[in-house]
Structure 1
Amino acid sequence: MTTYPPDQQDFDLSAPVRLWEDGFALDPYTYYDTLRAQGPVGWAELAPGVPAYVVTDRRAALDLLHDEETFSHDPRAWETTVADDSPVLGMMRWRPNSLFADGAAHVRYRSSLIDTFDRIEPHDLRALVHRAVRVLVNRIGPRGEADLVGEFARPLMALVFNSLFGLPDSQSDRLNAALGKMMEGGDQAAAGEAEFGGYVLELIGTKAQMRGDDLPSWLLDHPAGLTPEEVAWQVFLTLGAGHEPTANLVSNALSRILGHSLYYSTLTGGARPVMDAVVEVLHHETPLANYGVHFARRPLAFHGAWIRAAVPVVISFGALAHFAEQEVTTGRHPKDASHLSWSAGPHACPVKQHTLLIATEAIERLTQWLPDLEPVLPRERLTWRPGPFHRSLTALPVRFTPRSPDQPGDPS
């Protein structure tokens, strides 16, 4: 029998908090409260039979994110304990990219991504976003009603990323569908992973034969000397990490804006920047709710819990946001305290400025084209997609004054 240090908690392994249940999407905050009641580190399931430690305390999260000697990002020892058809493997399986690498390999992969994204000029990215918004508004404008999740935020990201990766608009629906299945972690997760993998492999195969002025070609030619396979996995990561969370950021921000008419009027009137709404989401309703997966290199005590090796240790960015909001309300947390939606430490998001530009420009442009957006449902009646990893609306139905594609008065 294993003996645990007397001041460390070994969890009741028969009673994990089930983040895969439908109830989690409906009301994640009750689940976060249950986890926090266990201490800074709680015990949960990401899928049936897939346990994980979940960090719900800011100090513990920062200690984890900055401790490369104690914790690794390599999940391969854990993978041997998980069924091949586990729905979370698509999000957690080892791949040779910067997310799952440590040490020199991580530096090599990460530097190639940073250097490549640094080649994208902000005005060029802004133009891509404006073009994508125009394409989507021309689709939905004549109807006078739309779903801003399925018909705007998600296809917007597919259009923008297809442009960055040198693919035609016609491929955007394929990308959108595959990533949606993989992120939800349900019965379609394996199919989504396979579809997304096929999408990326076809892309890299094409670029390996004929370069273009695009991100995959720049990665293939980077001085780090990545192989085509390594480039494929960096693209796999970049598309997954860039598309889904950014789409959720856009739709979550729009729901907050449209759910408060006074707030919306100050934004459309120019008195308040859209960035305010985006930052509010990052602070209080972060689109990537639970991730930042680590693995202890050996069994150890960590913030009052006994952590086994080869068991995921997940950062609950959603719980951190939830408890920070509570602390602001009670005056125990400064309002300007930084959020952790971009993570922190060596694996912090390397392209957060690009993400912020996409989200803010998309929302600003949409509200310029359609200035009288009106939600069909009150915010408390909106529904959320299932899955342990994200905070993602199922739909955001709105109505507005119809406009034709050639209507005068388009934003300049």
Structure 2
Amino acid sequence: MTTHSPDGHAFSRSTPVRLWEDGFALDPYRYYDALRAQGPVGWAELAPGVPAYVVTDRRAALDLLHDTDTFSHDPRPWESTVADDSPVLGMMRWRPNTLFADGAAHLRYRTSLIDTFDRIEPHDLRARVHRAVRVLVGRFGPQGEADLVGEFARPLMALVFNSLFGLPDSQSDRLEAALGKMMESGAEAAAGEAEFGGYVLDLIAARAERRGDDLPSRLLDHPAGLTAEEVTWQVFLTLGAGHEPTANLVSNALSRILGNPAYYSTLTSGARPVRDAVVEVLHHETPLANYGIHYARRPVSFHGVWIRAAVPVVVSYGALALSAGPEGAGSAPAAEREVPGGRHPNDASHLSWSAGPHACPVRQHTLLLATEAIERLTQWLPDLQPVLPRERLTWRPGPFHRSLTALPVRFSPRSPDQPGGPS
């Protein structure tokens, strides 16, 4: 069986599906169809010359995510086979943190993170989000137009996470720029990784010298006894995993809401909760589209495919989505296609939070953050209008994420100082 990518590249069972090429960002669902055509486990490239198995079947994904005897999260055997300048290393390189650990080490790191984040009260997180939204509306609100990616979703996450990690607002641009380069896995990926690493090192050095009321200080003082280096890498993971996917979750949800005026009106009127829109994105346009990377400890037969050791096995949360296209139309069975603005009968049926021992430990914090951000923005600016129809929006390149380059909107100009704003 052979299909074609948007740029004319032929897909076949013997040819890796190239998730790094420009066409993937343009229309990933075509690529997912090609992977599905290969069976539960497809064959792809994450970057030129970097092959990977890609799991596109829900049952196979769950088996992978729960089988710690057969599969490991430690990428070091694979790293030795990859060029030092590979653009995907920033997202896949081994570091001593919970994402790349197994067994007792993983449990120790994960427990420290869960305990630390559990000390963030919902009302505190909500207040931080409200403050960040007010700051950003103060910047672009009087203009009557904005880019809700570059001027809202991404800087919002930088402001919120900087406040949680004890850094001033002035550091937000530095965080945002470094993570954007690293996530795209392009020519600037190594520079982005280095810049982000420097950002985290500076933060931990300051907290090791003087504690504060922030997450790094709590990690340094946790009973697990993490070293300063181990805390550095937990923060590296947490900032990266928290900022970029959550920013994409917010912007993807806003694009879907604003692209459907009838749906938008039900949200702004309070007839339906914003949380529904956020959950729909996790079902149909998940922001971290391909990740959950494992490595077989030894060659093994897995769902009809012979898996070699030291080759990445990627979970395609994007391909697992119940919708086969951004508006719910595509090759998925009709019964599984999204009704725009319709509630999915089971909000837990997607795998965007992963599953098994490495499932996202802070999903409730993420949902609260994204939901509050959108609710607060639409309270400040209730007449948001998209400048472009959704099909004309463009997406950032990269094999791992589903991320808009921009979301231009217009609205009635307003300032946070005007009367009648959110309380």
TM-score by length of 2: 0.93
Contact 1:266 1:272 in 2 (8 A): yes
**Cα deviation digits, residues 258-296 of structure 1 (max 9, x gap):** 000000111000101000100100000000000000000
Equivalence for 2:108: 108
Quick check: 1:389 aligned with 2:400? yes
Greater Cα offset, 359-368 or 401-410 = 401-410
Distance across 2 between alignment mates of 1:346 and 1:394: 33
Q: Deviations over 1:134-178 (max 9, x none)?
A: 000000001000000000000000000000000000000000000
SS at match of 1:330: helix
Which range moved further: 178-187 or 328-337?
A: 328-337
Q: Deviations over 1:344-373 (max 9, x none)?
A: 000000000000000000000000000000
Moved more, 226-235 or 11-20: 11-20
Residue 4 of structure 2 is matched in structure 1 by none
Matches within 5 A, 1:131-170: 131-170=131-170
Equivalent position of 1:78 in the other structure: 78
**Aligned twin of 1:302:** 302
What is the CA-CA distance between 1:407 and the residue it aligns to? 1.0
Residue number in structure 2 paired with 1:292? 292
SS at match of 2:266: helix
Q: What amino acid is the match of 1:390?
A: H
Contact 1:74 1:101 in 2 (8 A): yes
- For residue 321 of structure 2, give the secondary structure of its aligned residue in structure 1: helix
Unaligned runs of 5+ in 2: 1-10, 339-343
- Tell me the CA shift for residue 405 of structure 1: 3.7
Distance 2:334 2:289 in 1: 21
Further displaced range: 319-328 or 174-183: 319-328
Question: Which residue pairs with 2:390 in the alignment?
Answer: 379
Q: Which aligned pairs between 1:10-409 and structure 2 lie closer than 5 A?
A: 15-322=15-322, 329-330=334-335, 335-336=345-346, 338-409=349-420
Q: For the residues of structure 1 that align with 2:196 and 2:285, how far apart are their CA atoms? A: 27
- 3-state SS of 1:150 partner: helix
Query: How far off its partner does 1:404 sit?
Result: 2.5
1:135 alignment partner, SS class? helix
Displacement after TM superposition at 1:14 (Å): 6.1
1:8 corresponding residue in structure 2: none
Find the aligned partners of 1:367 and 1:332 in 2 and give their Cα distance. 27
The CA deviation at 1:328 is: 6.2
Measured at CA, do residues 323 and 374 of structure 1 come closer, stay the same or move farther in structure 2, by a change above 3 Å?
Answer: closer
SS state at 1:238 partner: helix
What amino acid is aligned across from residue 234 of structure 2 in structure 1? Q
Deviations 1:61-107 (A, max 9, x none): 00000000000000000000000000000000000000000000000
The structural deviation recorded for 1:329 is: 2.5
Number of matched residues? 402
**Residue identity (%):** 85
1:199-252 per-residue CA deviation (whole Å, 9 max, x = no partner) reads 000000000000000000000000000000000000000000000000000000
Q: Which aligned segments of 4 or more residues in structure 1 are displaced greater than 3 angstroms?
A: 11-14, 322-328, 331-335
**CA distance in structure 2 between the aligned counterparts of 1:92 and 1:159, rounded to whole angstroms:** 26
Amino acid at match of 1:411: P
> Residues 29 and 322 of structure 1 are in contact (CA less than 8 Å); yes or no, is this contact kept in structure 2?
no
* Distance in 2, Cα, partners of 1:37 & 1:328: 14
Contact preservation (8 Å) 1:328, 1:335: no
> Could you give the per-residue CA deviations for residues 178-199 of structure 1, whole angstroms, max 9, x where no partner exists?
0000000000000000000000
Following superposition, the deviation at residue 12 of structure 1 comes to 8.1
The Cα of 1:406 is off from its aligned counterpart by 1.7
After superposition, what is the alpha-carbon deviation per residue over 1:99-129, rounded to whole angstroms, capped at 9, x for unaligned? Answer: 0000000000000000000000100000000
Unmatched segments (≥5 aa) in structure 1: 1-10
